[in-house]
Structure 1
Amino acid sequence: MTKIRTLAGITLLSIALLGVAACSDGGATGTTPSSGSASSTSPAAQGERAPQVADPLDPAGLVDHPCESLSAEQLSDLGIEGEGKETRVTAGGLKGCDWKFGANLEWKIQVSYVVPDSRNGLQNEYDQHAAGLFEGGYFVPTSTGGYPGVFSNVADTRSQGRCDLGVGINDEMLLTVAVTGQAEKDNCRAASNVAERIISTIKAGGH
């Protein structure tokens, strides 16, 4: 069960979550998939090529156990108390993990590993962008922990405190991280901080 934090704790939590993220260019990604995997676009809608993933990662068991994506030490480093709750992201069985925290549980981190139907990882985000999916939202290329990604969503909720990030960790898969919190905070930077730590977890073999 998530513990209630004091106001002083919230200040420390904000500092931890919003600490400088490596290579973040700012902005938000990751549309929530509507089926067993993320929706894909037709070849006719393809435009700009996504950056290549130079050092592909295999998240292995974390796909089925996404709440193990952040170690106890990493959670503490981010100012998060309590365990994550495994969720079902899609009817097709895609799993995710949610962490809720803060004095009024106003902060939320959502993590999942998404393989688009076309199995083209980050390129699917670029193809959706070319098809106009993000016209009413945002699409901002970035880099996290040395891996290419995009902040994106079909609606721009950044000013309301939510930012979505998708990181290409191999040629087929996206690591998606969404952070919801205080509207005046840079929750895109917070999402990058979370993703960077998860990448470290994957590189350490999921531990």
Structure 2
Amino acid sequence: MVMCAKCGHDISNGAAFCPSCGKPIAGIEAIRREKSSLVRQGAIVGLIGYAGLALIAGMLGFFYVFGEPSQPSPPSLAGAIKDMESDLHGEQMLQDATPFLLFVAVLLMVGLVCFVIGFVRANELGRSHLIALSSICLALSLVTLVVALAWLNIMLLCMGWMVGWQPVLMTVGAYKMLSASLKMPKDSPDAAI
């Protein structure tokens, strides 16, 4: 029998938590800290993937907005009509892509928030909450990977080193978070949310 350091109640040798106050036993707490550290490491890996995606998206947006200036053409009615048609076609393409771009933006923001929560609150969340958070991160990372493969399929063949590693890194980070969460000791009966 061991005495609880918090409430003084007698605890059996095999117990992970005090039956009176719910305080984890010292060995279990060390395992919890180690696994929380692994969850944080996974969150850092995922955040690096998100930072890479943000950098690439920023560069693409910059080049789209401030891209190569058009060459001035001699003023003619045919040239003006052609320029207007080209501008209208570009605007229509952007309008057609807006729902998809909004979906991707929401997907990335929710995933980013989940990874940040995993990094900041890994030591405070219970096992079941970390498993849920890690599962959400993994699901969002896999969806991001599938979207990247579907949308950038040709670009990934040509420039995979530039645009393909971020979703893979996010998925690896989320998997690492989930793996560490599953190896954590069970929550105490009154674990804080």
In the superposition, the TM-score normalised over structure 1's length comes to 0.23
Name the structure where strand makes up a greater proportion of residues: 1
Name the structure where helix makes up a greater proportion of residues: 2
Task: Point out which structure has higher relative CO (alpha carbons under 8 A, 6+ apart).
Answer: 2
